[in-house]
Amino acid sequence: MSNSIPVGKKMVISTVTAIVGYLVIHFVGLGISDNGAVGLALGLFLGMSFAPQIFTALGTIKVPAKRPTRKTPSISVGDNEIVSMFVGNLAFKVRGRQLAELFEPYGPIESIRIVKDRNTGRGKGFGFVDMKGAAAKKAIAELDGTEFFGRTIKVSEANAQKTE
């Protein structure tokens, strides 16, 4: 059987082919006694016999992988205006210095804030980096979707904080 088909799908296909085999034996009859157990057993046998051919046929069908699209961010700020960037999907062990090392090649950093849980002090998996406009635009364009500490990070312009 093909290993490219998930086990769950194999189970469903096997079950469906077994049921179809049972229904064929039951309704066509083929001179088999009225004992339902014999019909069920033969139907299951026939259904399971055809499952490997179905798996082989399905395994040869190639479904193209969905490719992520990268959007070019449109930050409409001046080069000297400070832009706050949201950095998401951070590993919990990431510290400010490590995040600074990631962003420093794009320009001077104004501030870094890693959001932490109040009770445990552990990072929540996101933070904010403040940089000047041109440096922020370049950092967002090049760092969004890259791998950092084994995780694909999300870098975008932060939304304004809501005050009520």
**Higher pLDDT among residues 112 and 51, named by residue:** 112
Residue 13: domain span: 7-59
Check pLDDT > 90 for residue 142.
yes
Report how far residue 100's alpha carbon sits from residue 113's, in angstroms, rounded to the nearest whole number.
10
Count the domains in the chain: 2
pLDDT for 48 equals 67
Q: Is residue 116 part of a domain?
A: yes
52 and 86 housed in the same domain: no
147 and 87 housed in the same domain: yes
In sequence order, which residues have a C-beta less than 8 Å from that of residue 154 and are 6 or more positions away? 86, 87, 88, 89, 144, 145
pLDDT for 40 equals 65
96 and 137 housed in the same domain: yes
47 and 90 housed in the same domain: no
**Six-digit token pair at 85?**
């960037």
pLDDT for 2 equals 44
pLDDT over 90, % of the chain = 38
49 and 95 housed in the same domain: no
38 and 88 housed in the same domain: no
Q: Is residue 89 part of a domain?
A: yes
CATH number of the domain at 152, please.
3.30.70.330
Q: Is residue 123 part of a domain?
A: yes
Q: Is residue 87 part of a domain?
A: yes
Report how far residue 75's alpha carbon sits from residue 162's, in angstroms, rounded to the nearest whole number.
20
Q: Which residue has the tokens 């399971």?
A: 48
55 and 86 housed in the same domain: no
Q: What is the average pLDDT across 55-69? A: 57
Q: Is residue 140 part of a domain?
A: yes
Report how far residue 140's alpha carbon sits from residue 151's, in angstroms, rounded to the nearest whole number.
16
pLDDT tens, residue by residue, 80-131: 889 999 999 999 989 999 999 999 999 999 999 999 988 988 889 999 999 9
Q: Is residue 1 part of a domain?
A: no
Q: Is residue 74 part of a domain?
A: no
Q: Is residue 132 part of a domain?
A: yes
143 and 104 housed in the same domain: yes
